[in-house]
């Protein structure tokens, strides 16, 4: 009986959601690779049968999401069903009005789910604070999810943590409906195939955001994995693990987390090094995940788009956003920026979006008079635009850019920090548009000028990271205050000596990042073409090093919270 109970307990731990060990299925955990190995063993039997292969991976993906999110996987199924049905309706409707109604219904439904589960409690609390009300959301759904998932907010049992990856798969299903509406895509006939597209586990919770037009045709192609592609997949996986564990986690644990927890206890130099380190950490962490996702998908026979392209080689803010989180940047451009009017004009949707964003910012601030200041500023700019054509032209060409970046900031979370972060990046893009027209350096393309441009761009992006990383606006203000008023150069030798592992690791990270593409290509191709024995040795070495660095436990990926 004891053995039966022990086996039953073990099986429950393996197959049922447990809030205490949901980290087990992160890419940087041993449990995930055991899971992947077993999944791959089953996959090797049925991979030649396309229909069975897709069903198998769909079920595996649902199990994967259930293990990390509990019964929130019902939201994934709900989103799949809604957009599958509406996709057919949009495609087969003969009247333009019906198509428009259905695509608006798809977008609205997806956004309402996203807003409710990610922002509803925040907005309700902010509304109550601003207007002195006592609105209370119905907590029955929250109670049910908490009881089912065995998770609770410590202060309110009716609340829940946002479902992991909801921002990613919501954007994915929205793009599917919109692309059908635009005539760029035919709906998927088999709902299981569509479910597989929505839930494909390597990229489900942190991207890259996959377009249906790119991914769905792959569902009906025969499995192909050439020797070169196998080596490339292995290279992506090992590279991603090294980025995440050896670089990102180490510099965060050793130095960055300590400084950000209490900036005032550290000198300005330490604060500056922490935020500089965080720029490397967030890149290594996020790109490390997508590298692994691309490698895993390739082993399974599917090709995902590149999500990062050496972003810290960017020579201006515009170029940075073409290199960073490419799937989100292009999504925002294609489904928000261009539909709003792009850089040509402001539309009715532009001004509705602007009012919505300003309202959200007022709620975040908790200060009702801010609405009157915003109203005054809008009125003033409106008057100027009415009588000065240059003002109107500049507003028309830049307002959609600012709205896109502000909404990109709010996509990460509803807080002043993300609003400021998105706003600063939008401002950086606008300023660069004007600067490049008058800059004496734009026509130069030599090493010195490019290095200077890269340094200025990186410094600006790193400055905005203060708001992205800080838990609240007070910590961000303290960090900037320390950097500006208490830099204290005299402590530099002592800080560097005491934290030399951090500085060495960080320096190596930047050197590797800034290596020429030709050098990186040579290293990658040399690994891919190497003998299988060398690949095995390389895998063992990386695994041993990763294991040594992970003795402190599995650390979550940064973008899992979004």
Q: What is the pLDDT along the chain (562 residues), one digit of tens a residue?
A: 445 556 655 556 666 666 656 567 788 888 899 899 999 999 999 999 999 999 999 999 999 998 888 778 888 999 999 999 999 999 999 899 999 999 999 999 999 988 888 887 777 777 777 677 777 765 555 555 555 555 444 444 444 567 888 889 999 999 999 999 999 989 999 999 999 999 999 999 888 999 999 999 999 999 989 999 999 999 999 999 999 999 999 999 999 999 999 999 999 999 999 999 999 999 999 999 999 999 999 999 999 999 999 999 999 999 999 999 999 999 999 998 888 888 777 777 888 888 888 887 877 767 777 888 888 888 888 888 888 888 887 887 788 899 899 989 888 887 888 989 999 999 999 999 888 888 887 777 888 899 999 999 999 999 999 999 998 889 999 999 999 998 888 999 999 999 999 999 999 999 999 999 999 999 999 999 999 999 999 999 998 888 888 766 778 888 877 7
Q: Enumerate long-range contacts of 540-545, CB under 8 Å, 24 or more apart.
A: 542/238, 542/241, 542/242, 545/242, 545/246
Give the HSE-up count for residue 456: Cα atoms under 13 Å, Cβ half-sphere: 14
Burial 459-492 (b: 16+ CB within 10 A, else e): ebbbebbbbbbbeeeebbebbbebbeebbeeebe
Phi, psi of 443 (to 5 degrees): -85, -5
Q: What is the DSSP string of 76-120?
A: HHHHHHHHHHHHHHHHH--SHHHHHHHHHHHHHHHHHHHHHHHHH
Q: How far apart are CA 139 and CA 121, in angstroms?
A: 10
Residue of 143, 155, 214, 412 with catalytic role: 412
How much is the pTM?
0.91
Q: What is the DSSP string of 225-236?
A: --HHHHHHHHHH
What are the boundaries of each domain within the chain? Answer: 2-223, 226-308+472-562, 311-438
The answer for residues whose C-beta is within 8 angstroms of residue 528's C-beta and 6 or more apart is 228, 231, 232, 235
Task: Establish whether 412 is a catalytic residue.
Answer: yes
């Amino acid at each position: 009986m004891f053995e039966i109970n022990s086996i039953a307990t073990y099986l429950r731990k393996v197959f049922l959601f447990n809030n205490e060990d949901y980290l087990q299925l992160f890419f940087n955990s041993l449990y995930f690779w055991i899971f992947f190995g077993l999944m791959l063993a089953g996959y090797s039997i049925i991979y030649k049968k396309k229909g069975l292969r897709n069903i198998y991976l769909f079920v595996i993906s649902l199990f994967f999401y259930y293990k990390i999110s509990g019964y929130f996987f019902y939201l994934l199924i709900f989103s799949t069903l809604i957009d599958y049905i509406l996709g057919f309706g949009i495609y087969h409707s003969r009247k333009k009005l019906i198509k428009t109604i259905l695509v608006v219904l798809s977008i609205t439904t997806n956004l309402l789910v996203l807003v409710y589960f990610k922002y509803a409690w925040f907005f309700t609390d902010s509304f109550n604070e601003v207007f002195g009300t006592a609105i209370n959301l119905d907590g029955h759904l929250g109670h049910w999810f908490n009881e089912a998932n065995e998770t609770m907010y410590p202060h309110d049992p009716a609340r829940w943590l946002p479902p992991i990856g909801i921002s990613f798969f919501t954007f994915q299903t929205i793009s599917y409906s919109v692309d059908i509406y635009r005539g760029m895509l035919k709906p998927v006939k088999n709902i299981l195939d569509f479910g597989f597209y929505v839930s494909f586990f390597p990229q489900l919770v942190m991207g890259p955001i996959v377009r249906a037009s790119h991914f769905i045709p792959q569902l009906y192609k025969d499995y192909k994995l050439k020797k070169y592609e196998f080596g490339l997949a292995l290279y992506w996986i090992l590279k991603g693990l090294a980025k995440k564990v050896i670089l990102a986690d180490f510099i965060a644990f050793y130095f960055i987390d300590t400084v950000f927890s209490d900036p005032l206890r550290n000198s300005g130099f330490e604060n500056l090094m922490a935020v500089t380190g965080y720029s490397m950490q967030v890149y290594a962490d996020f790109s490390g995940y997508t590298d692994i996702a691309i490698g895993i998908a390739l082993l399974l026979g599917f090709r995902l788009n590149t999500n990062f392209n050496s972003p810290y080689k960017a020579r201006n803010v515009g170029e940075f956003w073409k290199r960073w989180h490419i799937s989100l940047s292009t999504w925002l451009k294609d489904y928000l920026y261009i539909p709003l009017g792009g850089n040509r004009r402001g539309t009715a949707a532009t001004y509705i979006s602007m009012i919505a964003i300003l309202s959200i910012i007022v709620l975040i601030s908790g200060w009702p008079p801010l609405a009157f200041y915003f109203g005054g500023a809008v009125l003033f700019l409106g008057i100027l635009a009415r009588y000065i054509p240059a003002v109107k032209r500049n507003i028309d060409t830049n307002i959609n850019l600012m709205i896109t970046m502000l909404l990109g900031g709010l996509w990460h979370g509803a807080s002043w920090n993300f609003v400021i972060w998105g706003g600063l990046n939008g401002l950086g893009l606008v300023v660069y548009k004007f600067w490049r027209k008058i800059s004496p350096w734009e026509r130069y393309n030599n090493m010195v000028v490019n290095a200077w441009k890269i340094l200025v761009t990186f410094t600006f992006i790193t400055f905005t990271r203060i708001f992205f990383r800080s838990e609240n606006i007070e910590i961000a203000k303290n960090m900037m205050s320390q950097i500006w008023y208490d830099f204290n150069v005299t402590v530099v030798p002592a800080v560097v000596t005491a934290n030399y592992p951090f500085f060495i690791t960080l320096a190596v990270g930047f050197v590797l990042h800034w290596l020429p593409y030709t050098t990186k290509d040579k290293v990658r191709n040399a690994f891919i073409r190497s003998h299988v024995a060398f690949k095995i040795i390389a895998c063992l070495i990386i695994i041993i090093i990763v294991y040594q660095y992970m003795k402190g436990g599995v650390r979550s990926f940064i973008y899992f919270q979004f």
